[in-house]
Amino acid sequence: MLLLLRALLIFLFLSSAVQAKDWTIGIQSPFGSERAEDIWQKWVDSVNSRLSNDRLIIKRISVSDFPLEFRNKSIDFIIAQPIQILLTTEGANVSWIASLQSLSSVVPSIGDNVGSAIWVRADSPIHALSELKGKKVAAVAESAFGGYIGGLAVLVNYGIRESDLKINFTDYPVNKTFEHLLKNKAEAAITPLCLYEKLVDDGLIQSDSVRLLSPKHMYNSCQGNISLKSNWVLASLAHVPESLSKQLAVIALSDRKDLTEPIWIPPKSNTEAEMLLNRLGKHPNQLSLWENIQSSFNKNRHLWELGLMAVFVIIANHFFAIWLAQRRNKRIKAINQDLNETERLVYQADRVSMLGEMVSGIGHELNQPLSAILYFAEGLKLGVSSDKLKNDEILSALDSIVCEVKSSKKIIDNVRLWGKRPLEDAVQEVDLSTFLDEVKKLIFIRRNINISIVCPTSIAVRADPLKLTQIILNAVLNSFQAGATEISIVCDQESLKILDNGPGFSKEQLDFPFVPFRTTRKEGLGIGLVICERLAKSMGMYLNIANKTNEKGVISGALIQLIWRDAVA
């Protein structure tokens, strides 16, 4: 029995000896290979002295090496920035052993913060982060959290996207970013927090050679633009025996004999940093939009089916509504076209109806030049028969005949214009004094009606002469048909007023003016003033109606006012 126990102990001893091996610990080296080995070799030697049969060997790695090292399993442990591990391990299973509080009690650097600082040369015209759009920018690596990604998080707040920058990745060591900046290979540099202070302390750059862009953020004695809580970690890869990981955790978290050794604490979360990755859409575990949709569909299949059916019904209803609207629009357009055509015909009919009122006046106007022509013609006939006419007398008589013929032709041309349908607006500058004298000739004066015109010679407006004539004739005709015997046309810089001594307008007409087909005359259509109001609007003018009163407040007639305001030339 004793021999069997000895054999078992020897077997276990030999087995453990056979299993004892070297384990590679990869250490992120932001400042270069030699620097990383100097910092960590003493701690690794201390750990090795406490391990029974295993031994740790340092391997310096840069961020760009992470994917290959994890894929080939050429490292077993890693000391690095945790977000950096998350970004570059391509889904490898990594277990946190401990978080680094500080590098040592003597030199408390690296530790619990990660951040970014954005620098330009001291003589650069760039002074704010918002001015970096389209500029050449140096950064360590696309996956470098303490540097490039942290800098992006700041720039996004100033409306600058990743695609707005011309990025040049310099890789490790991190001081290459400043080298590119100072050698004019870049207009700005996104660097890890505290890199500037370290390079100045080491004498590698002058303190006044670069300038931090605003707005600035201070972390301890380091200048930057952003800092986040994110302790460096000691982690093991999935293939490392759990017993060895536990042994290393006990050693790291135990009391230190040497104050220059790193200070380790239990693993801490990186919630703040991971939230930033999510906001930028760079978290490796972040689902794509399509993956989110698939996941939601699988979890809530019935709700999705109901939702899709609802969407289908809404879309179908939308297209049906569009179809109905198009049908209605076609009908409305057809109705509007009919209404417009009817309105044009009404205007035309209104002008034609007024021609009946104007026929007598036209005859009166033509009678004068025709009588003059007859007079001059008979005079020439008598003169020729008596052989007493001189050449200058003949020419003078003929000139007078020609003048009267032109006057007659002008009257006939005006009648022709009124009998035609207007093709388009003919807005022009109208001299009111001359214009009103011409319009008065178209008004038939009969019985005891007296029309007076008071208009300064200096007033001109921009209007369509035909429309303006129709408004005045309609207004005068309205006064005449209401029984007025005195009509006055008065104009000034603001308006033209037509006043009469008739019975005035009714209360209903004043409360609701320009209502079509409302008339107090049996033979009337009730569209005269309605047409006037619409013609005025078409020229940018306004038509008002009111009653005028005497000193006792009794209605003494009607007032029709055409206000042109900005139409004054």
pLDDT tens digit string along 163-176? 888 888 888 778 88
Out of 421, 446, 478, pick the residue that ends a domain.
421
| Residue owning tokens 């307008």 | 505
Token digits for 201?
A: 């302390």
How many domains would you assign to the chain?
4
Residue-wise pLDDT tens digits, 223-252 = 888 877 777 888 888 888 888 888 888 888
For position 49, which CATH number holds? Answer: 3.40.190.10
Do 413 and 456 belong to one domain?
Answer: no
Predicted pLDDT at 15: 47
Q: Token digits for 137?
A: 């920018």
Based on the fold, state whether residues 334 and 353 are members of the same structural domain. yes
CA atoms within 13 A on the CB side of 553: 0
- E strands, 131-280, are 136-139, 166-169, 188-192, 210-212, 217-219, 222-224, 226-229, 233-237, 263-265
Assigned domain for 513 exists: yes
Let me know: does 461 contact 564? Beta carbons within 8 Å. yes
d(CA 135, CA 185): 11
DSSP-derived secondary structure for 283-301: -TTPPPHHHHHHHHHHHTH
Mean pLDDT of the chain: 77
Q: Is the dihedral of CA 219, 225, 231, 235 positive or negative?
A: negative
Cis peptide before 503 (omega within 30 of 0): no
Task: Give the pLDDT of residue 434.
Answer: 87
Please report the pLDDT score of residue 112 as a whole number: 57
* Alpha carbon distance 392, 564 (integer Å): 50
What distance lies between CA 306 and its chain's CA centroid?
35
CA distance 51 to 465: 111
Choice between 552 and 14, residue whose per-residue pLDDT is larger: 552
Tell me the C-alpha distance between 469 and 355, whole Å: 13
pTM: 0.44
Domain end among 370, 387, 421? 421
Q: 431 and 555: one domain?
A: yes
Assess if residue 1 is contained within a domain. no
3-state SS of 173-211 is CCCHHHHHHHCCCCCEEEEECCHHHHHHHCCCCCCCCEE
What is the structure's pLDDT at 315?
Answer: 92
Full residue range of the structural domain in which residue 435 is found: 424-567
Domain final residue, candidates 280, 308, 343: 280
Same domain, yes or no: 135 and 257? no
Residue type at 536 in one-letter notation: A
Quick one: 56 and 161 in the same domain?
Answer: no
